[in-house]
Structure 1
Amino acid sequence: DMYKVLPEDSSKKLGEDLQWYWDKEVQKAKKRGKTPHLTKAIILCYWKSYLVLGIFTMIEVIQPIFLGKIISYFENYDASDEVALNIAYCYAAALSVCTLILAIMHHLYFYHVQRAGMKLRVAMCHMIYRKALRLSNVAMAKTTTGQIVNLLSNDVNKFDQVTIFLHFLWAGPIQAVAVTVLLWMEIGPSCLAGMAVLIILLPIQTCIGRLFSSLRSKTAAFTDVRIRTMNEVISGMKIIKMYAWEKSFAELVSGLRRKEIAMVLKSSYLRGLNLASFFVASKITVFMTFMAYVLLGNVISASRVFVAVSLYGAVRLTVTLFFPSAVERVSEAVVSIRRIKNFLILDEVSHFKPQLHDNNENVILHVQDLTCYWDKSLESPALQQLSFTVRQGELLAVIGPVGAGKSSLLSAVLGELPKEKGLINVSGRIAYVSQQPWVFSGTVRSNILFDKEYEREKYEKVLKVCALKKDLDLLANGDLTVIGDRGATLSGGQKARVNLARAVYQDADIYLLDDPLSAVDSEVGRHLFEKCICQALHQKICVLVTHQLQYLRAATQILILKDGKMVGKGTYSEFLRSGIDFASLLKKEEEAEQPSVPGTPNLKSSRSRTFSESSVWSQDSSVHSVKDGAVEQPPVSTQRTETSQFLFGCVGFLFVCLFGWKYLLFISFWKNVFMPKSSELTFTSDIIHLSAVTAVRSINMPNFLAVLELLGWEGKK
């Protein structure tokens, strides 16, 4: 239900206009060897349109003058003086016109000055966003996300208020001088007593403005720290909950908030003092004026009181409210401008514009004696003395250990890593696939098209070569499924393939691929390498950073980096003949994929079969492929184990029975041989009890249990 933004109020136009003046100011400052001033750029950009609004303020300045002339006419009234009467009519007409204009134009004036503030705020936001996207790595270490958020949420809002009262900085003193002259003509030197009150208020309000500026700087610093801390707390909320650190971090945030509130409270006290001066100053001014008038021996008359009160009333709002508010707002705006300027003068990445040619045969990537530094304070460069040339249809594979400078090389080609010396010649359009895949909030299709026109045949081909067809079939709405912060969650492998599909759909001339195969499993990786890199991009320049050495055979050139230096460059066959280390690593990698014993089933095919049977995802999906690092074994049947345990238990029981029977036979033999026959009857009644007790005692129960446990454990094996 909202209207569209006017073309002259669009962020692009406003931002580019102010950016042009800012760039000119930066260039002039560099020539003079000084720091650029953002205030100058703002004044040069908006002074014409804002000066027109000052005409309305001028009307408020001259209105008390006309009022004073009319009062003077009635004080010196002469019925026979028609000339004075005509002049009085003119003053009355002018006063009426001024009053009418003020009544009609009052709200229109405030609308236009607020619109001017809105334009300045939008232009500043545009410049801050633009700068944030161009910050170099060194500059990013000097600022934080919290500071940028604070600039966009707090500092730019000061421009909405400063334009409302800015004109009263010059209108207030002029009105005060005009009223002083009129009062001098009316009541003489006594007017100086009243004006002295207003004059005393001016330096007080100036001091209050400076205190506002100081408190605003301190408050902004505390706000930056609090926002940065809150971002860290929110990002690590799971860890905080897991370790039950809620109270500690709540106290930390509360302490930072208390410091910020203390500064805000001091600012509120000053603001209240500033506002109180508005209500008190007019009464004190009139009182001091007529007290001095009486002390000088004059007699107060109603006409003089009316004139003085009328003139003081005309200047009261401007001097006691608008002027102090202007001082306060300007002080806050100056602090905001200084903070924004410090952000805008941070280092940017070099402006990189590759040469574009209509003829595809001229596409080339040439690097010669390249040396780059991420941070010049470090002794060792990120890249040192690199030279290579890649032409259309060639694949350059870049390998090396972690921290060798592979990603830095791609950053240098993109222009994000400033070069210290050397040459980088890029002829053609570039598509970059980062090592950390990213998606924005939107549909899968919009993430792949990336504002390009939808071509069904081309789009389907890209999905096929990037192994996304089966994944999209499993999503609720296919490629129209919303992903991102408030949508479906994609796995790392799916994000990597969406990133690759986005680059392939752009149909660029040069492709910089920063290890896109590491986020997917071997099957999907082979598909992406063969179908996408080797077939779909076979007519393009491809620079592939990889740790998977099995793909080096297909590379036209191989570049080996270590500690930012080039330790080897050539073809696969040349490296094999030279016996360089990566050849042995590649050989081991190949042997690991092959069965070591003839007749042993292939590990990869076995893994693929197991995976396809146990997963609802396709074999090409990397969601379950990430979990496919180890071979899945079939579930072990427990039937044989249970049977073996039962059999061994039966054997153990029989062994116990035989052992007991042996002791019964021994007791029976002892009774027949050694016992007298007279005791046969008494013995017979107890034979069963005695034999049982003797048999149980003769058996070592712990040993028996140990034997059973050993037999059971052997059965399990």
Structure 2
Amino acid sequence: MIPRLCMTAFTFSQPFLIKTTIEFVGSENPNSYHGKGLIGAWVLVYLGIAISRSLYYYEASRFVAKLRGGLIALVYQRSLDIRATEGGDISAVALMGTDIERIAAVMEMFHETWACFIEILIACWLLERQLYLACLAPIALVLVFIFIISQISVATRRAQVAWIEKVQDRLRATTALLGDIKAIKMLALPQVVSTLLTGFRTREIKTSKTFRELLIATLMLSLAPTNLAPAATFTIYVLISVFWLHESFFTAQAFTSIALIGLLTEPVIAFIQIMPPILGVVGSFDRIQEYCNYTDVSLKDENYYEPGHTDYHDESETHLLAPDGPAEPLDAPHEDAISLHSQGFKWSENGPVVLKDIQVDIGREAITAITGPVGSGKSSFLSSILGEMIDLSLENRQRAMQPYCKHIAYCSQQPWLENKTIRRNILSSSSYEKKWYDEVVSACGLGADLKQLQRGDQTEISSRGLNLSGGQKQRIALARAIYSRKRIILLDDIFSGMDAHTIDMISARLLGKGGILRRQQTTVVLTTHHHKIMAIADVIIVLEDGRITAKDTPAALLQKNGYINKLGLQLDSDNEDVDESATRSATAPTTEEVFEIAADIAVEMSEETDGKHTDIRRKKGELSVYGYYLASSGWGAVILYSITVSGWILCIEFSTVWMKWWSDANNEEPNKDVWMYLGIYVLFAVVGTLSGFICAW
């Protein structure tokens, strides 16, 4: 605030210096010391304006940077807190890419709102000292335009919200289609998809026309005071001075008044242009608030990421016990890592119950396999552990697993990868430890893949990992989960996209006797249909129609007449067969690896080829690009725009020259041809305003 007030003070000292300087130049015997003092005053004023303006914009930029960073962090944190089914029509991508950027652009000018009022009041007072009652002309003009703009601002806000919603619809559709780009190309649907996205874009542009028309109207109204205010002011002043006071005005008075009128209209224009965007971003703040209300998790909940918090309703006993001290050996079944005791779980408030009467304890450091028919609720079971589902036993249908996300690593059926290198995807937020990293990469069967890549694990993963096979993406996501050293790992049918040899190799190195997860004493909960994975597990939980129908060791379940017995599961003694198959897999490449290696080589060759062909024109630019954009706008519109801009600038600048001629003539013979000079001055104002209107349109 202080730099902005200083900038206002230095700015409004200029009219006094202008008047004093003109009087000094016009005096017959000027004092040299007085002239040197004026030079020093001008230097001081402009240095003050430069310094105060720099400090003001520096502090404003810092404020905007903090605001933007805080809003992005808020939206990002909320996107992590929101359950998969809690999301509405507003997406985090749209908020970050559209709403927050609009807020940042507008809030940089926020302090101009109160500063404009102060500058308008000071300018009116100074103008009254120069032109008496004629100062009412620009004030009345300002009030009229402010009233009109206030009415337009309300409509602008509604139009902007409607436009942003259309932008969000297009972004949502584009994101979904890009996620399935491989399937779209395989089905020869690019043209259909292009037509669909073009339709979204067309509707977006059509909706934005209302907002743009209101924006142009605001711009036109903001240009009018610059041209009309001086003409209206001097018209009234001439009427008062000629017919009432019988006086004339001099050069110093004329140019001081012009400077004051400029200082009056400048904050008015700024205020007119700022108010609609400021009112418009209120809608953006409302959208962010609505997005934050999607979830019931409070950002002030200090226990959200703290282990051991079990403050739940009496009817629900859903908790996860993360080990605080040294891990107990595997043969200590009395300790449970996960305990689920609930009436059931469902995805949405009005949706059906997916999991019913869940009463289960999962042992610490044990490998638990969840199996059952298709659609029995296996993935939902893992989601209930993560807290993504609504627990029917909790009051207000709050999520069940808030405190324990910090101790869980999760791999979904659809792997999520960042647009970074393979190593960065595996490391994620963890630090690099070479020995542990190499062990994890080898255990996940990524060693052969990385050797075939020219840049190894420094290879960039394209958007959504399109240059990787499904098996490679799944194994990178698995490696990330293991590298994190979380005490609990949830794996959602990650072996379904791998061949038998790869499954044998990875399962032996991770879950088998002496596997990494065994040595790390990690609690593993995985969903699977693969027989050998179930054979390795310590406990198998059978889900059928959303209910737990069986839970026991593989050997015990084989003795019973149930789902596992019908599968024909065979147990390997001490996992010897699995270890042997893993050894064979490590020495001979699998069918999947062969295809993946071939695909990687093709991608590398393509990248090398693309890198050799560099278009020189892209570095230097080409005039044809500008010609293309001008032709798209229409040559008639471009020519008309050029003419009106030239006319607008000519009228604004030449009116000052005309005022100089008028004041000189008035000094020689007071009020001579006053109506001619005034009429041409008003003509410049009207023509300049019309030119500005046409230019803005």
* Corresponding residue SS for 2:415: coil
Quick one: which amino acid aligns to residue 137 of structure 1?
Answer: A
Match of 1:276 in 2: 223
- What is the letter of the counterpart of residue 412 of structure 1? S
- Preserved CA contact (<8 Å) 2:242 2:248: no
- Of 120, 124, 129, which residue of structure 2 is paired with 1:180? 124
Query: Structure 1 CA distance, aligned partners of 2:391 and 2:60?
Result: 46
Question: Is residue 586 from structure 1 mapped to residue 565 from structure 2 by the alignment?
Answer: no
Q: How does 1:368-383 map to 2 (within 5 A)?
A: 368-371=340-343, 373-378=345-350, 380-383=352-355
Distance 2:447 2:202 in 1: 53
Equivalences for residues 310-389 of structure 1 within 5 A? 310-319=259-268, 321-347=269-295, 351-355=304-308, 357-361=324-328, 364-371=336-343, 373-378=345-350, 380-389=352-361
**Given the superposition, is the C-alpha separation of residues 505 and 102 from structure 1 closer, same or farther in structure 2, using an over 3 Å criterion?**
closer
Shift of 1:393: 3.5
Q: Which position in structure 2 is the counterpart of 1:205?
A: 149
Distance of 1:295 and 1:218 partners within structure 2? 54
- Conserved? CA contact 1:471–1:618, under 8 Å: no
Match of 1:500 in 2: 478
Taking a change above 3 Å as real, the CA distance of residues 404 and 141 of structure 1, as seen in their structure-2 partners, is farther
Distance in 1, Cα, partners of 2:407 & 2:88: 30
Comparing 445-454 and 516-525, the one that deviates more: 445-454
Work out whether residues 63 and 95 of structure 1, in 8 Å CA contact, stay in contact via their aligned partners in 2. Answer: no
1:4-51 CA-to-partner distances (Å, cap 9, x unmatched) read xxxxxxxxxxxxxxxxxxxxxxxxxxxxxxxxxxxxxxxxxxxxxxx3
Deviations 1:352-404 (A, max 9, x none): 54355132139741313135544443353333332222333422221122232
Q: Distance in 1 between matches of 2:219 and 2:557?
A: 79
SS in 1 for 2:359: strand
Secondary structure class of the residue paired with 2:353 = coil
What is the distance in 2 between the residues matched to 1:250 and 1:444?
31
Partner-residue secondary structure (3-state), 2:284? helix
Distance 2:257 2:375 in 1: 81
SS of 1:378 mapped into structure 2: coil
Aligned residue number for residue 386 of structure 2: 414
Paired with 1:61 and 1:243, the residues of 2 have a C-alpha distance of 59
User: Is 1:137 matched with 2:84?
Assistant: yes
Q: Where in structure 2 are the equivalents of 1:590-629 lying within 5 Å?
A: 618-620=588-590, 622-623=592-593
Contact 1:66/1:94 (8 A) holds in 2? no
State the match for 2:542 in structure 1.
560
Task: Give the counterpart letter for 1:314 in structure 2.
Answer: L
Equivalent residues in 2 for 1:28-107 (5 A)?
51-59=1-9, 63=13, 98=45, 100-107=47-54
Q: 1:561 to 1:223 in 2, by over 3 A?
A: same
Q: Distance in 1 between matches of 2:276 and 2:451?
A: 61
Offset of 1:414 from its aligned partner? 2.5
Task: Give the C-alpha shift of residue 616 in structure 1.
Answer: 13
- Mapped to 2, the partners of 1:482 and 1:251 lie a distance apart of 30
Question: Which one of 107, 115, 126 corresponds to residue 171 of structure 1?
Answer: 115
TM superposition shift of 1:261: 5.1
Query: Whole-Å Cα distance in 2 between the matches of residues 427 and 333 of structure 1?
Result: 34
CA positional deviation for 1:266: 0.8
Could you say if the C-alpha distance between residues 578 and 488 of structure 1 is closer, same or farther in structure 2, counting changes exceeding 3 Å?
A: closer
1:178 and 1:140, CA in 2 relative to 1: closer, same or farther beyond 3 A? same
Superposition deviation, residue 533 in structure 1: 0.8
Q: Which moved more, 1:347-356 or 1:553-562?
A: 347-356
The Cα shift of 1:511 comes to 2.2
Q: Structure 1's 397 and 327: CA in aligned 2 closer, same or farther, altered over 3 A?
A: same
Distance 1:617 1:233, change over 3 A: farther
Q: Aligned partners of 1:233, 1:460: CA distance in 2, in Å?
A: 36
Match runs of 1:245-644 below 5 Å: 245=192, 248-249=195-196, 252-253=199-200, 255-260=202-207, 262-263=209-210, 265-290=212-237, 293-294=240-241, 297-303=244-250, 305=254, 308-319=257-268, 321-347=269-295, 351-355=304-308, 357-361=324-328, 364-371=336-343, 373-378=345-350, 380-421=352-393, 429-485=407-463, 489-535=467-513, 536=515, 537-538=517-518, 539-586=521-568, 618-620=588-590, 622-623=592-593
Contact 1:190–1:289 under 8 Å retained in 2? yes
| Residue identity opposite 1:490 in structure 2 | L
Label 1:365 to 1:266 Cα distance change in 2 as closer, same or farther (>3 A): same
- 1:366 partner SS: strand
Which AA in structure 2 matches 1:517? F
Asked if the contact 2:413/2:492 (under 8 Å) is kept, the reply is yes
What SS does the aligned partner of 1:133 have? helix
Q: Structure 2 CA distance, aligned partners of 1:171 and 1:447? A: 49
Distance in 2, Cα, partners of 1:286 & 1:121: 43
- Who is 1:220 aligned against? 164
Quick one: higher RCO (CA 8 Å, sep 6+), 1 or 2? 2
CA RMSD of aligned residues (A): 4.4
- In the TM superposition, 1:225-244 aligns within 5 A as 225-231=169-175, 235=180, 238=185, 241-242=188-189
Structure 2 Cα separation of the partners of residues 248 and 481 of structure 1:
34
Distance 1:160 1:623, change over 3 A: same
1:473–1:101 distance in 2 versus 1, CA, 3 Å:
closer
1:259, CA displacement in angstroms?
Answer: 0.5
What is the one-letter code of the residue matched to 2:282? V
Counterpart residue identity of residue 261, structure 2: Y
Residue 39 of structure 1: aligned partner: none
Letter in 1 for 2:118: I
Relative to the length of structure 2, the TM-score reads 0.66
Corresponding residue for residue 672 of structure 1: none
Whole-angstrom CA distance in 2 between matches of 1:306 and 1:391: 88
How far, CA to CA, are the matches of 2:347 and 2:207 in structure 1? 34
CA contact (8 A) 1:467 1:524 kept: yes
Q: Which amino acid aligns with 1:531?
A: R
Matching residue of 1:632? none
Report which of the two structures shows the higher radius of gyration computed on alpha carbons: 1
Percent of paired sites with the same residue: 24
Distance 1:400 1:292, change over 3 A: farther
In structure 2, how many angstroms separate the alpha carbons of the residues matched to 1:361 and 1:403?
Answer: 35
Gaps of 5+ in 1: 1-50, 75-88, 591-603, 627-717
CA contact (8 A) 1:364 1:428 kept: no
1:699 matched residue in structure 2: none
Pick closer, same or farther for the CA change 1:137–1:451 going to 2, 3 Å. closer
Report the CA distance between 1:532 and its aligned residue: 1.6
Output the amino acid matched with 2:81: R
Contact 2:226 2:266 in 1 (8 A): no
CA distance in 2, matches of 1:383, 1:352: 26
What letter is aligned with 1:197? Answer: L
SS at match of 1:367: strand
Are the aligned partners of 2:367 and 2:524 in contact in 1 as well (CA < 8 Å)? Answer: yes
TM-score (norm: length of structure 1):
0.64
Question: Gaps (5+ residues) in structure 2?
Answer: 25-35, 299-303, 309-322, 330-334, 395-399, 572-576, 597-697
Partner SS for 2:393:
strand
- Tell whether the 8 Å contact from 2:368 to 2:541 is kept in structure 1 after alignment: yes
